[in-house]
């Protein structure tokens, strides 16, 4: 599919089928074509348009000294890169992990000051937290922060517009591993491999953001081993890995109006 280098605006339902795997990109509905100028500032990027077998691995909720290093080891052994959406509180607590993430060629985006669901707050307070978290994370990184993924993917339209207006692009996903559910490392890798498609942004976690939201005990699988199995499976299927930023620089973005 060609796009002339422009972003493609799709229905929320396309993005929401997070376990569909290989799938064609649907043609835009009429309302998306005619409403494009008004809708684009409200939209979030979900994946990219490409026929290449390439996927952006994205890890949320860290960094965590108990789990993030094993994932970084797995990525290094496979020669893979990923995007880490981190919490400012944890980044400040573990700056050495942030330095390692960057030194090994990975990308860092903001996931929030902490793991608060921002849709539980007034919009003005939510946006203040996002901007403050961005400043805090940039201070630890020593470089600007341009990507943001809200905790739980939760945002309203006013929050999305305000986030974009502040210079952050909101990044969601089109595939996931459901790695917050019970299962083994092999189960997590299998679910992830079933969901990937060319240009996908795959949702993973290198830590648990908020234990209070779990309905049972936290999953006990080995996150480093899950990443190793996932990376081996991707290689066997002919997939390469990249960062969100690199994919957006190389391919047209698939955007959607995401309110959750």
Q: Quick check: bond before 168 cis, omega within 30?
A: no
Residues that are catalytic: 60, 205
Contact between residue 146 and residue 167 where contact means Cβ atoms under 8 Å apart: yes
Instruction: Please tell me what DSSP assigns to residue 24.
Output: P
Q: Give the CB-side neighbour count of residue 26, counting CA atoms within 13 A.
A: 15
Q: Give the residues across from 44 on adjacent strands.
A: 256
Residues 258 and 220: beta-carbon distance below 8 Å:
no
Alpha-carbon span 34 to 220, nearest angstrom? 48
Dmax over CA atoms of the chain, in Å, equals 49
Q: Count of CB atoms within 10 A of residue 65's CB?
A: 13
- Report in angstroms the alpha-carbon separations of 114 from 127, 136, 193: 13, 12, 29
């Amino acid at each position: 599919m060609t796009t002339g280098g422009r972003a493609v605006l799709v229905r929320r339902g396309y993005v929401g089928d997070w376990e569909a795997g290989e799938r064609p990109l649907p043609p835009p509905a009429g309302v998306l074509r005619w409403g494009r100028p008004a809708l684009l500032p409200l939209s979030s990027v979900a994946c990219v348009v490409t026929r290449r077998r390439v996927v952006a691995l994205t890890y949320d909720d860290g960094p965590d000294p108990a789990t993030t290093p094993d994932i970084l080891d797995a990525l290094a052994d496979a020669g893979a890169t990923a995007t880490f959406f981190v919490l400012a509180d944890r980044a400040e607590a573990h700056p050495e992990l942030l330095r390692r993430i960057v030194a090994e060629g990975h990308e860092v985006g903001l996931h929030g000051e902490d793991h608060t669901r921002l849709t539980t707050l007034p919009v003005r307070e939510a946006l203040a937290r996002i901007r403050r978290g961005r400043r805090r994370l940039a201070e630890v990184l020593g470089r600007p922060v341009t990507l943001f993924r809200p905790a739980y993917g939760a945002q309203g339209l006013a929050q999305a517009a305000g986030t974009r207006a502040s210079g952050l692009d909101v990044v969601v996903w089109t595939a996931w591993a459901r790695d917050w559910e019970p299962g083994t490392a092999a189960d997590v890798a299998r679910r992830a491999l079933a969901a990937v498609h060319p240009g996908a942004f795959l949702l993973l976690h290198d830590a648990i953001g908020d234990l209070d939201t779990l309905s049972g005990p936290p999953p006990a699988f080995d996150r480093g081993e899950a990443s190793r199995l996932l990376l081996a499976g991707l290689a066997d299927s002919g997939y390469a890995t990249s960062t969100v930023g690199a994919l957006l620089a190389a391919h047209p973005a698939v955007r959607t109006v995401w309110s959750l």
